Amino acid sequence: MLYALLFGMAFNFLTEDERFAAGIRIASRNILRIGVALLGLRITTGEVMELGWPVVALVVGSVVATILFGGLIGRAFGLKGGQSVLSAGAVAICGASAALAIASVLPSHKDHERNTILTVAGVTVLSTVAMVFYPVFVTFLHYDNVTAGVFLGATIHDVAQVVGAGYIVSDQSGEISTLVKLIRVACLVPVVVSISLLMRHRLSPESGSIPLLPWFLVAFVVLVIVNSMGWVPVEAHAMFTPVSSWCLLTAVAALGVKTSLKALADVGPAPVGVMVVQTLFLAAFVIGGVALIR
């Protein structure tokens, strides 16, 4: 994600040429939504239930608490409501994927794309740092493989980094961390729908409309159900799972093209500081929850 973002930003000059406008817009919106929808193929309800209700409750509780706390922290740092929610949702759910999905239902304004790309960059860097340090941290806490997997899956932002960190500890931790992470991904639907409803309520009559239930979230839910029923052939699963990743990479690159380094430099340190605080809060919340269910 980070490489795609940086390469995209290197081609920011293309935004000055109208011939590229349509392609950049399609990549940053339509292809993004296809990628989010296809994330549904990574989840089955049966796998989620195997973890047990205490773990599921901890994961869902951490998502809700991080979004609520993260929104308040963002306001305390002087961020506007939309940017606070965007940052908190990215940290709480699934990093860059969540940031892109949430951004798609937020009202458009002059800083919308800049805020989105800053969130994607920040949460990806933090996720990579966590992938390196969290496996050492769980060893310091003397977590067994199962507990380590729960912690890593519930705290690291992006799916790829969760997988990497989990398998650094052990194969068992890798499998559990990936599954826990996918529970967080499943939280994307209710969170985005809730944000969509909230933003719709706050819109002024002259503002653009926001869809009540975006089509890509409907597709996400349908794919989770179909996958849970075992109706997706192995070949189709193997083909479409990478397609989801490539769609998200393409969308991030397109957002990078639309964002200049100067625009990011003008933002200041506040958004990055907010994401760091949100990340630390999420880790602390999960550590407390793990202590209760162990």
Q: Are 155 and 283 in contact (CB under 8 A)?
A: yes
Torsion from C-alpha of 268, 188, 128, 136, nearest 10 degrees = 120
**Which residue, 53, 37, 36, is CA-closest to 183?**
53
Inside any domain, residue 293: no
Give the pLDDT band (50/70/90) at residue 265: low
| The pLDDT of residue 266 | 62
| The pLDDT of residue 260 | 67
What average pLDDT does this structure show over 232-248? 87
Inside any domain, residue 160: no
Instruction: Residue 188: give the domain boundaries.
Output: 2-130+180-200+211-287
Inside any domain, residue 135: no
Inside any domain, residue 99: yes
Inside any domain, residue 173: no
Give the pLDDT band (50/70/90) at residue 193: confident
Candidate ranges 30-34, 36-40, 95-99, 138-142; pick with highest mean pLDDT? 138-142
Inside any domain, residue 278: yes
Candidate ranges 15-24, 81-90, 164-173, 275-284; pick with highest mean pLDDT? 275-284
Is it the case that residue 209 has pLDDT exceeding 80? Answer: no
Inside any domain, residue 153: no
Q: Output the average pLDDT for the chain.
A: 84
Q: How many domains does the chain have?
A: 1
**Which residue, 134, 97, 76, 65, is CA-closest to 282?**
65
Inside any domain, residue 10: yes
Q: Are 259 and 107 in contact (CB under 8 A)?
A: no
Residue pLDDT, tens place only, 272-290: 899 999 999 999 999 999 9
What average pLDDT does this structure show over 126-154? 92
Give the pLDDT band (50/70/90) at residue 129: confident
Give the pLDDT band (50/70/90) at residue 111: confident
The structure's pTM equals: 0.77
| The pLDDT of residue 211 | 53
| The pLDDT of residue 78 | 84
